[in-house]
Amino acid sequence: MRPEIAVLDIQGQYRVYTEFYRADAAEKTIILVNGSMATTASFAQTVKNLHPQFNVVCYDQPYAGRSKIHNRHEKHLTKEVEGLILLELIDHFAAEHVLSFSWGGAATMVALAHQPRRIEKAVISSFSPVVNAHMLDYLERGVECLGKRDGDRVGHLVNNTIGKHLPSLFKRFNYRHVSSLAEHEYGQMHFHISNVLNSDRQCYLNAAKKINVPVLFMNGEWDEYTAAEDARLFGNHVAQSTFTTLQATGHFLDMEHKSACRDSQNALLGFLKPAQQPISRTRHPFTQDHHALAV
């Protein structure tokens, strides 16, 4: 399953690396939005869960992964800019669906608030409008490490908090990735987290009120940082919202174990393709790809 690779020009300002997994029989296209400090490799398992039922698009933000060598990194990107980049990619790939993970939910909600005409359904996973005590502690410790550009501490922090339920192999690759980012990437994440800590957190709910398509919010039962009960607050603002909690899994959902991978796939296909039959327990694949994970 080899993707079609392209580096796209976004309004003459940014260059974005993309991977397009084409499926000849697929009727719809879905675009995946990374969490922070993540790359297209973060979605290796999710792509397997969705392809070939869908054409699948992954991309790296201008400051990350295989996009970063094509950009100058002269200023930090806001979530509003990331939302506009997503809108451009939705149009370019004629995507009907979007799926975000973790802090990718911020850019996705910005994009959905623009009510893009092509989008029919969206999935927002491991995201919450609430900065609860666990998330606040994680962010405050994170902003300190990032401010000092201490990649070692950032890597351990991620694995000991939101990544604590990951298999040990994934933790090793996650640490290797997070602890060796470029200085501008640490700067970008310091900027992002500082904004979360200091800005009006109502912004997510204000964006949610403008969303006019069905949205599935998917969270892990064991995720203390973007808790399922907190995510349900979106139900008061997104008119067509549904919720699912994946049992016995944390923040990283389909990466954590076989049952979570199966349950994630069933939830996605059940929402995006309601006629799709659930995946058999005995036939569901789960592979531990040696890639950097999402954050």
In this structure, is the dihedral angle defined by the CA atoms of residues 137, 140, 145 and 151, taken in order, positive or negative? positive
Structure confidence at residue 101 (pLDDT): 97
Structure confidence at residue 289 (pLDDT): 47
CA-CA distance, 194 to 209, in Å (whole number)? Answer: 25
Structure confidence at residue 288 (pLDDT): 45
* CA-wise closest residue to 222 among 150, 146, 134: 134
According to DSSP, residue 232 is labeled G
Structure confidence at residue 157 (pLDDT): 96
* CA-wise closest residue to 140 among 87, 67, 193, 209: 193
Q: Which parts of the chain sit beneath pLDDT 70?
A: 200-201, 276-295
pLDDT tens for residues 154-206? 999 999 999 999 999 999 999 999 999 999 999 999 999 998 888 766 777 88
The structural domains of the chain, ordered by start, are: 4-131+201-272 (3.40.50.1820)
Structure confidence at residue 196 (pLDDT): 87
User: What pTM, to 2 d.p., does this model score?
Assistant: 0.91
Contact 139, 155 (CB under 8 A): no
Cβ within 8 Å of residue 54, ≥6 positions away: 23, 26, 28, 29, 30, 97, 272
